[in-house]
């Protein structure tokens, strides 16, 4: 047993931390699956306090030693999103590394709520990371498209739209480069049934309305689908939900890479796992991908000027960064040269830290920006180049993803996994 398995999950209610400020203004950090907003202190929107989230959610910080172990075990340099601390928190990641070391099977599970046909840069983060994990671990990956959730939570959407969004989003996801032999992408609306539904029902017998209410903040006038939905999102955590991959085996654990706001779902899932005698899912949590407007909230597909979409042209990317990206630089060129910039508040710098793989270059940029020797304009220019290349390469890969390719990824099928260990 790895050391962190002993840590009990601390199930807290929604993370709504009130911070007393010097002025009269009350400031709350809000993090739940539907809202992400940093605290506001003296009228200023702060970034998300991630250490506080680790504390209140009861997760563990990813320490250097864990990264080193991962590197030693896999023989691969940790992914840029690990090196930059974007994936910063976890639950029982060590137990998955133990299984990798012992050549015992495990799988990856991640998901997406397809609320529109447009995916943006922030949506790419868990998928880029999963692609890396799948490559280094050589393990199966299941990707849940929660089109039923989007339908339940967005009263204006039609069911047919949600299914269409699922299929369109699947193309973007596939363009991240997943192994077609080991990746199963499914839409809830098209796939729920059979052994998957059996687990949904088993899970729903283990979660009280009271627990769902307090975990997600529902009220009695919310529809019954909402308080029940956690059972649908929990089901892929258990291997016997996928008999075409794992047969009847219910003892194969998964690792769930996801943004930290999804943790409440999996805290409940881990409780349920215990009751059902299934292994608890392990988790690895990402920070949010900030909106163009600043690090206090996350990029949103429903606010056009907050996001760089995967369909944006090179010119659109350039204009969005130049016009909308919040700068941590000095107010004037003179002030910038004198006092330097603040990379931790600077959106172009933040985006570079997600997408620029070269550690030396990013260190150089940070140092020079802080010193004021790198201008805001030049920083933005480099950010634009990197994003244009990332989005451009993505668009080329996506062109090759036909409906037939999507169909293949979305068909339940055997993956010839070695289940002997």
Instruction: Enumerate binding residues for a second copy (CB under 8 A).
Output: 148, 151-152, 155, 159, 189-194, 197-198, 201-202, 204-210, 212-213, 218, 220-225, 227-228, 230-231
Instruction: Select 175 or 189, whichever has its Cβ closest to a second copy.
Output: 189
CB of 227 to a second copy, least distance (A): 5
Residue closer to a second copy by CB (options 191, 318) is 191
- Are 286 and 88 in contact by the 8 Å Cβ rule? The answer is yes
Nearest-angstrom CA–CA distance, 25 and 100: 49
Tokens of 247: 């047969």
Distance from C-alpha of 346 to C-alpha of 64, rounded to nearest angstrom: 25
Q: For residues 238 and 247, what is the distance between their CA atoms, to the nearest angstrom?
A: 12
Cβ–Cβ under 8 Å, residues 110 and 130: yes
- Closest to 114 in 3D by CA, of 14, 195, 190: 190
Q: Which is nearer to a second copy, 213 or 408 (CB)?
A: 213
Cα gap 318→313, rounded to integer Å:
9
Strands (DSSP E) contained in 33-86 are: 35-37, 40-41, 44-45, 60-61
Shortest distance in whole angstroms from residue 119 CB to a second copy: 23
Distance CA 347, CA 383 (A): 9
Does residue 41 sit in helix, strand or coil?
A: strand
Q: From edge to edge, which strands make up the β-sheet containing 183-187? A: 60-61, 87-91, 282-286, 254-259, 107-112, 141-145, 183-187
Q: Which is nearer to a second copy, 4 or 251 (CB)?
A: 251
Continuous segment of H or E residues that includes residue 283 = strand 282-286
CB of 41 or CB of 206, closer to a second copy: 206
Give min distance, CB of 356 to a second copy, in A.
Answer: 42
Least distance CB 196 / a second copy (angstroms): 8
| Least distance from a second copy to the Cβ atom of residue 203, Å | 8
CB contact at 8 A, 238 and 250: yes
Which of 137, 151 has the CB closer to a second copy?
151
Q: Which helix (H) or strand (E) holds 366?
A: helix 359-371
Nearer to a second copy by C-beta: 196 or 351? 196
CB of residue 111 to a second copy, shortest distance in Å: 17
Residue 281 CB, shortest distance to a second copy, in Å, is: 19
Residue 275 CB, nearest approach to a second copy (Å): 11
CB closer to a second copy, 208 vs 414? 208
Torsion of the alpha carbons at 303, 307, 312 and 318, rounded to the nearest 10: 120
- Burial grade of 208 (CB within 10 A; 0-12, 13-18, 19 or more): exposed
Nearer to a second copy (CB atom), residue 73 or residue 190: 190
Q: How far is the CB of 235 from a second copy (least distance, A)?
A: 13
């Amino acid at each position: 047993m790895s050391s962190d398995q002993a840590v009990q999950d601390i199930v807290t209610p929604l993370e709504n931390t009130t911070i007393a400020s010097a002025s009269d203004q009350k400031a709350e950090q809000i993090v739940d699956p539907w809202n992400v907003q940093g605290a506001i202190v003296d009228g200023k929107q702060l970034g998300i306090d991630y250490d506080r989230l680790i504390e209140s959610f009861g997760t563990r910080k990813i320490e250097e030693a864990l990264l080193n172990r991962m590197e030693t075990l896999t023989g691969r340099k940790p992914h840029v999103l690990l090196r930059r601390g974007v994936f910063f928190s976890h639950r029982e990641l060590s137990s998955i590394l133990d299984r990798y070391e012992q050549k015992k099977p495990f799988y990856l599970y991640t998901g997406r709520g397809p609320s529109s046909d447009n995916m943006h840069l922030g949506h790419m983060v868990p998928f880029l990371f999963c692609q890396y994990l799948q490559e280094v671990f050589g393990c199966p990956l299941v990707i849940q498209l929660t089109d039923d959730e989007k339908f339940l939570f967005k009263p204006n959407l039609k069911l047919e739209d949600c299914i269409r969004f699922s299929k369109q989003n699947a193309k973007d996801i596939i363009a991240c480069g997943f192994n077609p032999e080991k990746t199963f992408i499914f839409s809830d609306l098209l796939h729920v049934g059979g052994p998957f539904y059996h687990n949904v029902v088993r899970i729903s017998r283990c979660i009280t309305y009271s627990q769902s209410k307090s975990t997600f903040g529902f009220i009695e006038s919310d529809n019954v689908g909402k308080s029940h939905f956690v059972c649908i999102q929990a089901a892929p955590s258990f291997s016997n939900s996928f008999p075409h991959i794992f047969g009847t085996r219910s003892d194969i654990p998964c690792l769930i890479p996801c943004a930290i706001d999804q943790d409440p779902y999996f805290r409940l899932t881990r409780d349920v796992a215990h009751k059902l005698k299934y292994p608890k899912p392990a988790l690895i949590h990402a920070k949010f991908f900030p909106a163009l407007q600043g690090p206090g909230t996350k990029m949103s597909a429903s606010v056009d000027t907050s996001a760089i979409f995967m369909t944006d042209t090179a010119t659109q990317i350039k204009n969005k960064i130049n016009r909308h990206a919040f700068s941590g630089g000095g107010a004037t060129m003179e002030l910038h040269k004198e006092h330097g910039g603040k990379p931790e508040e600077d959106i172009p710098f933040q985006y570079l830290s997600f997408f620029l793989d070269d550690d030396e270059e990013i260190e150089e940029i940070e140092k020079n920006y802080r010193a004021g020797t790198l201008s805001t304009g030049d920083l933005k220019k480099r950010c634009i180049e990197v994003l244009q290349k990332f989005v451009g390469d993505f668009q080329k890969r996506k062109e090759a993803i036909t409906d037939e390719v999507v169909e293949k990824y979305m068909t339940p099928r055997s993956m010839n996994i070695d289940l002997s260990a």
